[in-house]
Amino acid sequence: MKCSICGKKLKREEIYYGDVCTYYEGKPLCESCYFENEPVAIVYYGKDETPYIISEVRNETAGDFTVRWKSIDPWRGYYESKSEKYVLVNTAELLAYHQSEEILKKFDERIRELFDEYGIDYARVLTRSSNVFCQNYDLYVRENWALLGKILVEKVKTEVDYSNPKWYRNIIFDENALIKLAEFFPEKKIKTDYDAFELMKELGENVVDELKRRMKEYKRNSARR
């Protein structure tokens, strides 16, 4: 028999098989492909700091959680988590070195405090994507806690000002859109989604007309230069 990943020839006593609920479920594997396959998700149960790993060959959650690759295009994609025992109550993108990190940290601390207070059985699932700086943070509660879990999530979001666009950059508006807006409205000094949002609010219904006017003006000015 051969290893399904690296093709190494295997003796009967050397064979490992892919865990249930994984991509290589039941397929023969060599020792290193079985143990050294990179994790695609890490699960933390409640207060327990032990990481339970899910890779394409192993599933240390014994099927509590499974992951599936979702491709956006041939080069990009992410792993999506699923569970039959737990219910998803929130999902967030964890962007390294990003302003939103701060608010997610606050959210995470506070929601776990409340979940513990109410004795709610919860799990956090961190999944990988093709972007090394971006992970997904999925928060799950045990099925019977779904309603209370969701209510508490909303409560904490309000408490920590979670949805305020000032925490986000390049999520609603991408970098190019922000640069363009900054050019069209130089006096507004637009740097983040929040600034862009404030501008939209200020302009209200006139936003499209004003934008058109600014674009024309900008073109005229750059032609003159």
Kindly tell me which of 6 and 147 has the beta carbon lying closer to Zn ion: 6
Kindly tell me which of 32 and 163 has the beta carbon lying closer to Zn ion: 32
Kindly tell me which of 4 and 192 has the beta carbon lying closer to Zn ion: 4
10-48 burial code (b ≥16 CB/10 A, e <16)? beeeebbebbebbbbeebbbbeebbeebebbbbbbbeee
Kindly tell me which of 24 and 86 has the beta carbon lying closer to Zn ion: 24
Show the binding pattern over residues 9-48: x = contacts Zn ion (CB under 5 A), - = does not. Answer: ---------------------x--x---------------
**3 belongs to the binding site for Zn ion (CB under 5 A):** yes
How many other CB atoms are found less than 10 A from the CB of residue 125?
A: 27
Residues 6+ apart with CB under 8 A from 132: none
Give the nearest distance from C-beta 8 to Zn ion in angstroms.
5
Kindly tell me which of 7 and 186 has the beta carbon lying closer to Zn ion: 7
| CA gap 176, 111 in Å, rounded | 34
Give the nearest distance from C-beta 154 to Zn ion in angstroms.
46
Kindly tell me which of 35 and 133 has the beta carbon lying closer to Zn ion: 35
| CA gap 49, 45 in Å, rounded | 8
Only one residue has tokens 């929601």, namely: 111
149-169 burial code (b ≥16 CB/10 A, e <16)? beebbeebbeebebeebebbb
Residue range at the interface with Zn ion (CB under 5 A); choices 4-12, 19-27, 130-138, 153-161? 4-12
Among 1, 2, 6, 154, contact with Zn ion (rule: CB under 5 A): 6
Give the nearest distance from C-beta 98 to Zn ion in angstroms.
36
Give the footprint of Zn ion on residues 144-173 (CB under 5 A). none
**5 belongs to the binding site for Zn ion (CB under 5 A):** yes
The site for Zn ion, by CB under 5 A, has a size of 6
Angle subtended at Cα 180 by Cα 201 and Cα 195, rounded to the nearest 5 degrees: 35
**1 belongs to the binding site for Zn ion (CB under 5 A):** no
**Residues forming beta bridges with residue 42, ordered by sequence position:** 53, 126
Cβ contact 130:78 at 8 Å = yes
Kindly tell me which of 3 and 126 has the beta carbon lying closer to Zn ion: 3
Give the nearest distance from C-beta 57 to Zn ion in angstroms.
9
Residues that bind Zn ion (CB under 5 A): 3, 5-6, 8, 30, 33
